[in-house]
């Protein structure tokens, strides 16, 4: 077997087990070489549970290890910029959790730094590479709904303070529903409809404080520093128009919907925060058809974009969850979460990468 691409983790928090599991069990062409965390015990636990060979004292020790091919940045959103910048500066390829950075200028700086150093930079979300969005894309590209002219994306929930042990940052400068959850919906939209041309937004903040309902610090108050009820209209180069609502303020039974409207039908798309789900096509009034998934990765597959980037490093081909896509998304998000209502004209380019292939051996990228 050819040599595996070696991944070093910076941060081993809440979501890390998904990456640890999937890299260990699913993605055959990458391996975990080592981990570090500001809270050393978390790194020690991961090393023991997943039989990882190296535990670094800090991220700088990890960056100086010549065996590390890709730094996986799964720190909190407010740390993404600093950690990614330090890793790139040390000459490492980086795959970052979403968002690439919490402002458009900072994301642009990282993008340009990677370009200038000839390093690979990419990151989450990679759910758009899963069976749900890929099957939707196949149907749209094959003309099943005619010409797509509209879309609606809603992420409606009452905040992460119910479940996340460290929920405070979700209401700080790098948080809010748009920066935290918006990447899934915007990434899916641009992969289905193409480049976004303009963003028009009115966003508000109904609650000035939130009550923490998860341990530790149950019952403590969290100040809200970001807009949490964010309504946007996105216009695409194709002429399609999407309306989006991203909020942490609403009690609602259906937390996510993504619908694409075409001249010959409507597609009800699985939640882009997941890799699969119910996909329904409606082409005649009151008649819906459930569509089977046509691609692999129906299960939780976080790390798919990382495995794809590793394959790109080995073969020289492009990778799908790349920083050009992340930068386009951060530019959209920055204005979808803006305190100032208004219209923003997008400046970054974007072209969709190739769709996923029907690979006979899931876990090995094309
Ligand atoms: N929790 C989820 O359900 C979820 C889902 C998808 C994506 N994400 C994304 O994944 C990222 C991590 O989320 P999480 O919930 O695991 O956060 P978390 O707060 O649970 O964990 C982050 C970890 O990073 C560590 N860390 C921060 N700076 C560091 C540094 N310089 N060196 C070493 N370690 C450092 C922290 O000590 C902490 O353990 C976020 O960007 C989040 O948006 C989270």
DSSP state string for 106-171:
HHHHHHHHHHHHT--EEES--GGGSHHHHHHHHHHHTTTTSSEEEEEEEEE-S-GGGT-TT-GGGG
pLDDT value, residue 1 = 54
pLDDT value, residue 2 = 76
- Judged by DSSP in three states, 95 sits in strand
Cβ contacts of 284 within 8 Å, gap of 6 or more: none
Distance 73 CA to ligand 1 centre (A): 8
Q: Which one of 16, 47, 75, 179 would you pick to mutate in the ligand 1 pocket, going by the greatest count of ligand atoms within 8 A of its CB? A: 75
Q: Which fold has domain 130-290?
A: Dihydrodipicolinate Reductase; domain 2 (3.30.360)
pLDDT value, residue 285 = 85
Q: Is 3.40.50.720 the CATH classification of the domain at 5-127+300-321? A: yes
- Whose alpha carbon is nearest atom 39 of ligand 1? 13
Backbone angles phi, psi at 238, to 5 degrees: -70, -15
Residue 117 CB less than 6 A away from ligand 1: no
CA distance 99 to 41: 26
Cβ contacts of 224 within 8 Å, gap of 6 or more: 171, 205, 207, 208, 209, 210
- Whose alpha carbon is nearest atom 33 of ligand 1? 37
Residue 166 CB less than 6 A away from ligand 1: yes
Are 257 and 267 contacting, i.e. CB atoms less than 8 angstroms apart?
no
pTM: 0.97
**Cα torsion at 50, 51, 57, 60 (round to 10°)?**
-80
Q: Which atom of ligand 1 is nearest to the CA of 11?
A: 24
pLDDT value, residue 278 = 97
Are 85 and 113 contacting, i.e. CB atoms less than 8 angstroms apart?
yes
Question: Cα angle at 32 between 30 and 38, to 5 degrees?
Answer: 140
Extract the residue ranges of the chain whose pLDDT is less than 50.
none
pLDDT value, residue 360 = 76
CA distance 321 to 318: 9
| Residue ranges per structural domain of the chain | 5-127+300-321, 130-290
């Amino acid at each position: 077997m050819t040599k595996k691409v070696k991944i070093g983790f910076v941060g081993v928090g809440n979501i890390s087990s998904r990456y640890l599991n999937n890299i260990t069990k699913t993605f055959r062409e990458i391996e975990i070489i080592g981990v570090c965390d500001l809270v050393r015990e978390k790194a020690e636990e991961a090393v023991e549970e997943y039989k990882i060979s190296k535990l670094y004292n800090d991220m700088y020790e990890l960056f100086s290890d010549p065996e590390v091919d890709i730094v996986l940045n799964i720190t909190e959103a407010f740390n993404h910029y600093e950690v990614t910048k330090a890793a790139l500066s040390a000459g490492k390829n980086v795959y970052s959790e979403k968002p690439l950075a919490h402002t458009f200028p900072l994301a642009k700086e990282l993008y340009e730094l990677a370009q200038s150093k000839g390093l690979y930079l990419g990151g989450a979300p990679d759910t758009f590479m899963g069976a749900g969005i890929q099957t939707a894309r196949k149907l749209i590209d094959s003309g099943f709904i005619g010409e797509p002219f509209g879309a609606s994306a809603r992420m409606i929930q009452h905040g992460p303070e119910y479940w996340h042990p460290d929920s405070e940052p979700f209401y700080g400068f790098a948080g809010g529903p748009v920066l935290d959850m918006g990447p899934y919906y915007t990434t899916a939209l641009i992969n289905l409809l193409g480049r976004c041309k303009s963003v028009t937004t009115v966003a508000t903040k109904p609650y000035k404080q939130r009550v923490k309902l998860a341990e530790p610090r149950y019952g403590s108050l969290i100040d809200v520093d970001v807009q949490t009820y964010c309504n946007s209209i996105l216009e695409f180069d194709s002429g399609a128009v999407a309306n989006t609502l991203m909020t942490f303020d609403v009690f609602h039974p259906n937390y996510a919907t993504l619908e694409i409207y075409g001249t010959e039908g409507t597609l009800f798309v699985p939640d882009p925060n997941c890799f699969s789900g119910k996909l329904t096509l409606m082409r005649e009034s009151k008649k819906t058809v459930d569509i089977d998934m046509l691609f692999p990765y129906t299960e939780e597959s976080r790390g798919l974009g990382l495995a794809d980037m590793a394959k790109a490093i080995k073969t020289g081909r492009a990778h799908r969850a790349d920083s050009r896509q992340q930068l386009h998304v951060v530019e959209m998000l920055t204005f979808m979460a803006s305190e100032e209502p208004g219209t923003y004209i997008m400046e970054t380019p974007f072209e969709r990468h190739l769709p996923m292939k029907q690979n006979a051996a899931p876990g090995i990228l094309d």
